[in-house]
């Protein structure tokens, strides 16, 4: 068992610690020499590069559905600071830098979040659905993801069992951000919209793309280790010629690891870890 953090032993210190972390977090970005994307343009760039959507409501959390409604409310607040964002050559995208003041006029509602390793509720909860969507979009572009962390714990099954695994991106203000850097000579634009059931993300680009991308899973394995079940997923990316549709390359991106805290189907093989 790992050593407990001070805020886990003395939880009343958490607000002060969070404030300290946030001050350092944003000061670090102010002086890190990067040029951060912040321009919103209502006019869309001419070429659609990739579009994805995800369900807004998960009925398998074990919590009252009011927290799912609150999550949708929070996501729509945050989307107002993201929809139409340009990421120009040499610029860096930071999710927290953009949504930091999304609730300055209308407060966030309580949604589901993970605190000290436990699923609970907090103001602004559910924002990881936005970071998940944006990370998925970035994986389908030439943008370089320079900061991303997957969820260390998966508390409940994903709504769609056919979804590519290991591509989530958790965020926590002051601790964990989602960042992507534009090292190309193209400008990219993010669109975030909603219908009755889905959040919809789209990436546009100012030049016709020569290469398209498809993200796939390689090996998916489950191991019993340290008293728990862990999922190991290889995430890979195919490069596709935009004109012919032919696959021209395949590149491994990373291996994602997370602890599974729900019962897996009986047909899933769980291996014993080699100690």
Domain membership of residue 167 (yes or no) is: yes
Name the strand (E) or helix (H) holding 119: strand 118-123
Mean pLDDT of the chain, nearest integer: 91
Query: What integer is the mean pLDDT of 165-194?
Result: 96
Query: What integer is the mean pLDDT of 198-215?
Result: 97
Domain membership of residue 271 (yes or no) is: no
Binning pLDDT at 50, 70 and 90, where does residue 192 land? Answer: very high
List of residues 6+ apart from 257 with CB closer than 8 A = 150, 230, 231, 232, 233
Closest by Cα among 213, 221, 219 to 139: 213
Domain membership of residue 3 (yes or no) is: no
139 lies in which domain range?
34-207
Residue 13 has pLDDT above 70, yes or no: no
pLDDT tens digits for range 240-275: 999 999 999 999 999 999 999 988 989 999 999 875
Residue 39 has pLDDT above 80, yes or no: yes
Domain membership of residue 64 (yes or no) is: yes
Query: What integer is the mean pLDDT of 48-62?
Result: 89
Coil vs helix vs strand at 16? helix
Q: How many domains does the chain have?
A: 1
Query: What integer is the mean pLDDT of 219-238?
Result: 95
Domain membership of residue 106 (yes or no) is: yes
pLDDT of 11: 67
Residue 31 has pLDDT above 60, yes or no: yes
Query: What integer is the mean pLDDT of 122-134?
Result: 91
CB-facing half-sphere around the CA of 6: CA atoms within 13 A: 6
Strand partners, 53: 200
Domain membership of residue 56 (yes or no) is: yes
Binning the chain into helix, strand and coil, the percentages to the nearest 5 are 20, 35, 45
The pLDDT > 70 percentage for the chain reads 91
Question: How is 149-167 classified by DSSP, letter by letter?
Answer: ---SEE-S--S-TTSPSS-
Binning pLDDT at 50, 70 and 90, where does residue 153 land? Answer: confident
Binning pLDDT at 50, 70 and 90, where does residue 7 land? Answer: low
The pLDDT > 90 percentage for the chain reads 73
pLDDT of 154: 86
Residue 83 has pLDDT above 80, yes or no: yes
Domain membership of residue 223 (yes or no) is: no
Coil vs helix vs strand at 271? strand
pLDDT tens digits for range 86-123: 999 999 999 999 999 999 999 999 888 876 666 777 88
Give dist(CA 73, CA 107) in Å, integer.
10
Query: Which of the pair, 137 or 114, is modelled with greater confidence?
Result: 137
pLDDT of 1: 47
Query: What integer is the mean pLDDT of 126-147?
Result: 96
Domain membership of residue 249 (yes or no) is: no
């Amino acid at each position: 068992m790992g050593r407990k953090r001070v805020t886990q032993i003395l939880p009343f210190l958490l607000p002060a610690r969070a404030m300290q972390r946030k001050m350092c977090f944003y000061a670090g970005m102010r002086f890190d020499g990067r040029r951060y994307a912040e321009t919103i343009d209502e006019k869309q760039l001419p070429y659609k590069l990739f579009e994805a959507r995800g369900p807004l409501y998960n009925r398998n959390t074990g919590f009252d559905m009011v927290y799912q409604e609150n999550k949708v409310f929070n996501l729509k607040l945050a989307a107002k600071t993201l929809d139409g964002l340009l990421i120009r050559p040499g610029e860096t995208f930071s999710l927290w830098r953009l949504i930091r003041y999304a609730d300055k006029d209308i407060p966030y509602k309580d949604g589901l979040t993970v605190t000290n390793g436990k699923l609970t509720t907090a103001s602004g909860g559910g924002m990881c659905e936005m970071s998940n969507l944006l990370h998925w979009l970035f994986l389908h572009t030439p943008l370089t993801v320079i900061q991303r962390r997957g969820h260390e714990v998966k508390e409940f099954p994903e709504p769609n069992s056919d979804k590519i695994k290991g591509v989530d991106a958790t965020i926590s203000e002051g601790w964990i951000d989602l960042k992507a850097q534009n090292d190309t000579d193209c400008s990219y634009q993010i669109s975030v919209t909603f219908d009755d059931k889905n959040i919809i993300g789209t990436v546009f680009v100012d030049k016709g793309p020569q290469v398209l991308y498809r993200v796939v899973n390689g090996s998916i394995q489950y191991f019993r280790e340290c008293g728990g079940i862990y999922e190991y997923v290889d995430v890979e990316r195919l490069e596709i010629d935009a004109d012919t549709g032919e696959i021209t390359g395949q590149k491994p991106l990373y291996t994602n690891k997370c602890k599974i805290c729900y019962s897996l189907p009986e047909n899933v093989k769980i291996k014993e870890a080699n100690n």
